Amino acid sequence: MDSGIGLLPTAAAVRRLRPDADLVLSSDPEGMPWGPRTPEGITERALAVAEAAAAHRPDVLVVACNTASVHALSALRARLEPQLPVVGTVPAIKPAAAGGGPVVIWATPATTGSPYQRGLIQEFAAGVEVTEVPCWGLAEAVQSADEAAIDEAVAAAAALTPDDVRSVVLGCTHYELVAERVRAALQRPERPPLVLHGSAGAVAAQALRRVGAAPRPEAPATGSLTVLLSGHEAALPAAALGYAEGRLLRAVSHAG
């Protein structure tokens, strides 16, 4: 679940690990963006999206959204667990800091500077130089697959990023869909390759662990795909097919 197509990287990671898994993608195009909403408003929307997915009786619910994980994870777990395990998404600050600094965290304005993110920095990146960069409009541009708006938002965030950055944490699941564009905006030819840290792979692996399912990337591609847009079954949005992850899900899935 996510506010929009930011769930694609994690869903595609699950699909690569388990081509036989049935996937339900539940998002909220009628209510996004969630970032400008109050914490209470985000929680209300997240619960509705989660309950739409839960009606399909999944084995695990993946909250593939940093904003919802920050503000609504406790409420989601209180509502759905223990019957339905809930896995949240945490920015990959720990592995980024383990490689040394300087580290930059690209996140939505709502997450940047939040007590939640500051707590993760204090816990996992003590002694490492960390810069928080608010990415105004980037999630919305990715959601609509607006090439010009993506370029503008990436350039604006890049202008706020120190030149000596070594690692970038993609602190919004939408950003993983344009990771290489972020790299291209920040990489300097005279410096070592920039390391980008997303969460999709780790979250997908954790989701399988929560239900005791071993990875089987060699399994036949028999898994189904069900798409819920604000609670209603639909096809993958056209914008999703503008990204490799969306095309993978369509190609390596059967109709739900």
- Hey, what's the torsion of the CAs at 142, 43, 25, 5, to 10 degrees? 0
- Is 135 in the active site? no
- Spot the catalytic one: 65, 139, 153, 239: 65
Which of 6, 2, 3 has its CA nearest to residue 245? Answer: 6
- Is 172 in the active site? yes
Q: How far apart are CA 39 and CA 164, in angstroms?
A: 34
CB 212 within 8 A of CB 41: no
- The token pair that represents 11 in the structure block: 């869903």
- Hey, what's the torsion of the CAs at 100, 71, 6, 79, to 10 degrees? 130
- Spot the catalytic one: 14, 61, 172, 203: 172
**What is the Rg, in whole angstroms, of the alpha carbon atoms belonging to the chain?**
17
Catalytic residues: 65, 172
